[in-house]
Amino acid sequence: MATYLYKLGRFAFRRRHFVALLWVALLTLAGVGAASAPPAGNSSFSIPGTEAQRAFDLLEQRFPGMSADGATARVVFKAPEGQKMTDAGNKAAVEKTVKELGSGSEVASVADPYTGKAVSRDGAIAYASVKYKVSGMELEDSSRDALKESAGHARDAGLTVEIGGDALTTAPETGSSEVIGIAIAAVVLVITFGSLIAAGLPLLTAIIGVGIGVSAITALATPLDLGSTTSTLATMIGLAVGIDYALFIVSRYRAELAEGRDREEAAGRAVGTAGSAVVFAGLTVVIALVGLSVVNIPMLTKMGVAAAGTVAIAVLIALTMIPALLGYAGRTVKPAGEKSKLLGGGRAAKKAGRPNMGTRWASFVVRRPVTVLLLGVVGLGAAAVPAASLELGLPDDGSQPVSTTQRRAYDLLSDGFGPGFNGPLMVVVDAKGSADKKAAFAKVGDEITGLKDVVTVTPPAPNKAGDTAIITVVPKSQPSSATTEDLVHAIRGKSASIASATDAKLLVTGATAMNIDVSQKLNDALLPYLALVVGLAFLLLIVVFRSILVPLKAALGFLLSVLAALGAVVAVFQWGWLSGLMNVEQTGPVMSMMPIFMVGVVFGLAMDYEVFLVTRMREAYVHGENPGQAVVTGFRYSARVVTAAAVIMIAVFSGFIGSSEAMIKMIGFGLAIAVFFDAFIVRMAVVPAVLALLGRRAWWLPAWLDRALPNVDVEGEGLRTDSDPDGDRELVSA
């Protein structure tokens, strides 16, 4: 592989006009496709294999036109102090608002508070329920705007009006976060390279790669039902890896220049060596992201595949466009150690023999491997302790900041009708096979009424055929509580006895039940997903490193960093530690998608650092250095660049901590702290300590497996044995 990539790098350097024109053409084509595509709506949302989804599907069949999984909104009214919602003026304002709410094209129905008994006992609070024909993910912005305008008219009449429900669900804005990440990345790159031109190359190629990827997603949004939220993960990951992959190749190019090679040869060797690491690092990220499909949640699968496509583009751009741009840059990109005139006064490289910080650190670790290993493992273990108390759930309006209308509506409903009113359960009774359908409906209602934590059980509401009924159950506890989850399981636990007594089937659905089912589905999929991703990457790393223990060590180190990161997430978002610093207004269960999401993304990124760092060690080892010296050599050439790459990753992810959305804030913090743990503790401390302790055993591989594995030559051994191709070369100026 190194030889092939070496030729590719030299070709891109020589034919820089062709390569640059090709990528510009692809960016233009993707941009035109995105501009001409219809506006992306929100993708359809379904959770195959869950009881809540089966109930929704049954309702679509038995209650045609009901839109059982359609978005809902609750417009909550509160009378001024000393007044009641039943007063004539207040009642007239509410009825006018209800009329306006029902005029939307996507509105299925609106329930009047006064005919639907939706006024609190003290008369201070009332609410109107709005049902839409489409889900919250598919609702048009015009419908949301009309909902807000109707509420505004009621406020003009003197009422306090707040809106809750999933109808207000929108994709969070993250543009400013991306700008912050890019700005910090630019500063880190300038410090790393000491040159504005060299620092600008990774930024330029990353932006082009993300531009192509996101534009392609936008262009294909309608035919593939990708939706407007699919590009969020693609942008986050594509930007981070795009900068990192280009960073490693530019850094290796400067190192090759420092060894006296001409620029075309340096570009070829940089792509042949660092480019090989980029290919395999990219493959691990792609495996992790595509592997999200095993969860069988369509939205998550689409996000993973879209992000994987953006990563693949980032790899291709790093292998081709970076050497082409290096050809354009010429002598403005200095050999390693030299600074540009603008930033360093044209300072020459430091004299040989003065060890850099990476060399000094690696030498210390090699001398004290046991101490460093124990400190690293114990520290990560302590950080992971809170993960034992991990509680999973999905965010609802109760987790929103108190400044939002959704949270204020949630609190008003809790005050007026009880905490459980914000998460009613919808019990679907399928009595098609029952001899006495009405008796079956009544039996289910009686059974549920006798359960704990139940406030209200509405009378069965049958369909026109009379073979299916809906019973609404209001719990005592709030939707995200463990008590409400226990109630859902208790109702479902009655299914067998109901079927035995009446031949009727019982299903529980609704937003609360759906959240519970999604959490369980994600929890059940975590171990299979972990086995698939780690297993495939383990096999891939065996091919890369031609070792058994090095990939095993990489996988175990990753598990340490992920557990430590989950512990930090629990401490901040569930326990409330440092919640003020992180602006976490409401603690509660960790988002159920977080563990599997973190495993997928962090594993791919962690293997990036493993491949870039350890391939340099492997390269030194196969070229004759002893194991300890190979560790030091790997750090001499890679530690600075890996550190810069990790800081860039952390900067990109940390920018999302400032989001007002609790989910985005949690993802940003979780990924940032995971990269910190993995890069600076696992890869920079635990990895060299383990390799120093293992010595030559680290690179052991059974002879039969050595013969069976393909030789991908990530270390570039073939480049040392091959004679340099003939041709004119631009010499590096002395």
Q: In what order do the strands lie in the sheet with 125-132?
A: 107-111, 125-132, 72-78, 160-164
pLDDT of residue 566: 92
Residues belonging to the chain: 734
Phi, then psi, of 271 in degrees rounded to 5: -70, -35
Say if residue 278's pLDDT is above 80.
yes
Q: With 80 as the cut, is the pLDDT of residue 1 above it?
A: no
H helices of 450-548, in order, are: 482-493, 495-502, 511-545
* Backbone torsion region of residue 503, taken as left when φ is above 0, otherwise alpha when ψ lies between -120 and 50, otherwise beta: left
Contact between residue 479 and residue 422 where contact means Cβ atoms under 8 Å apart: yes
At residue 404, the pLDDT reads 81
**Mean pLDDT to the nearest integer, 414-441:** 88
What pLDDT digit, counting tens, does each position of 171-218 carry?
555 555 557 767 777 888 788 777 778 778 888 888 898 889 888 888
Q: pLDDT at position 29, please?
A: 92
pLDDT at residue number 673: 92
For residues 489 and 452, is the Cβ–Cβ distance under 8 A? Answer: no
Instruction: Say what the pLDDT of residue 418 is.
Output: 86
Tokens for 214, please give them. Answer: 């996101």
Q: State pLDDT tens for residues 634-664.
A: 888 788 888 888 888 888 788 777 766 667 7
Q: Give the whole-angstrom CA distance, residue 675 versus residue 688.
A: 18
- HSE on the CB side for 497, CA within 13 Å? 10
In three-state secondary structure terms, 388 is helix
Helix (H) or strand (E) segment spanning residue 672: helix 662-676
Transcribe 236-269 into DSSP letters: HHHHHHHHHHHHHHHHHHHHHHHTT--HHHHHHH
Of 612, 717, 729, nearest to 275 by C-alpha is 612
Q: Which residues contact 662 (CB under 8 A, 6 or more apart)?
A: 395, 399, 400, 401, 573, 584, 586, 591
Q: How many CB atoms lie within 10 A of CB 534?
A: 22
The neighbour count for residue 258, using CB atoms within 10 Å, is 17
Q: Is the pLDDT of residue 81 over 80?
A: yes
Q: Taking all residues of the chain, what is their mean pLDDT, rounded to a whole number?
A: 82
pLDDT of 726 > 60? The answer is no
CB neighbour list of residue 68: distance below 8 Å, 6 or more residues apart:
55, 56, 59, 60, 426, 509
Q: At what angle do helices 263-290 and 594-622 cross, to 10 degrees?
A: 150
Q: Are 86 and 113 in contact (CB under 8 A)?
A: no
pLDDT for res 661? 67
CB 140 within 8 A of CB 228: no
Closest Cα partner for 689 from 618, 628, 610? 628
pLDDT at 731 over 50: no
Q: What is the pLDDT of residue 170?
A: 59
Lowest mean pLDDT segment, chosen from 35-39, 313-317, 332-336, 494-498: 35-39
* DSSP state for residue 696 in the 8-state scheme: G
Closest C-alpha among 71, 74, 53 to residue 166:
71
| DSSP annotation string for 80-107 | PTT--TTSHHHHHHHHHHHHHHTTSTTE
pLDDT digits (tens, 9 = 90+) for 45-67: 667 778 888 888 888 888 876 66
For residue 491, pLDDT over 70 is answered with yes
Residue 705, exposed/middle/buried by CB under 10 A (0-12, 13-18, 19+)?
Answer: exposed
pLDDT at 178: 59
Q: How many Å apart are CA 160 and CA 166, to the nearest integer?
A: 20
Prediction pTM value:
0.77
553-578 confidence digits (pLDDT tens): 888 888 888 899 999 999 988 888 88
Q: What is the pLDDT of residue 318?
A: 92
Q: Residue 331, Cβ neighbours under 10 Å: how many?
A: 11
- Cα separation, 631 vs 233, in Å, equals 35
User: Which pLDDT band holds residue 116 (cuts at 50, 70, 90)?
Assistant: confident
Residue 727, sorted as left (phi over 0), alpha (psi -120 to 50) or beta, turns out to be left
Reported as a pLDDT band with limits 50, 70 and 90, residue 717 is: low
- Main-chain dihedrals φ then ψ at residue 429, nearest 5 degrees: -110, 115
Tens-digit pLDDT profile for residues 346-391? 555 455 556 778 888 889 999 999 999 999 999 999 999 999 888 8
Only one residue has tokens 């440092």, namely 578
More confident residue, 622 or 95: 95
pLDDT at 722 over 70: no
State the Cα–Cα distance between residues 335 and 287, nearest whole angstrom: 35
pLDDT tens-place string over residues 208-229: 988 898 888 888 776 776 665 6
Question: For residues 689 and 556, is the Cβ–Cβ distance under 8 A?
Answer: no
Backbone angles phi, psi at 18, to 5 degrees: -65, -45
Other beta carbons within 10 Å of 585 = 16
Q: Is the pLDDT of residue 248 over 70?
A: yes
- Coil, strand or helix: which one is 161? strand
Please state, for a pLDDT cut of 70, what percent of the chain lies above it.
Answer: 88
Above 60 in pLDDT, residue 152? yes
Task: Give the burial class of 427: count Cβ atoms within 10 A of its Cβ; 0-12 exposed, 13-18 middle, 19 or more buried.
Answer: buried
The rounded distance, in Å, linking the Cα atoms of 458 and 295 is 35
User: Within 10 A of 710 (CB to CB), how many other CB atoms are there?
Assistant: 7
pLDDT category of residue 734 using cuts at 50, 70 and 90:
very low
DSSP state of 350: P
Q: Which residue has the higher pLDDT, 661 or 453?
A: 453
Amino acid at 414: S
Question: Taking 80 as the threshold, does the pLDDT of residue 345 lie above it?
Answer: no
Residue 67 DSSP SS3: coil
Lowest mean pLDDT among 187-196, 246-255, 402-411: 187-196
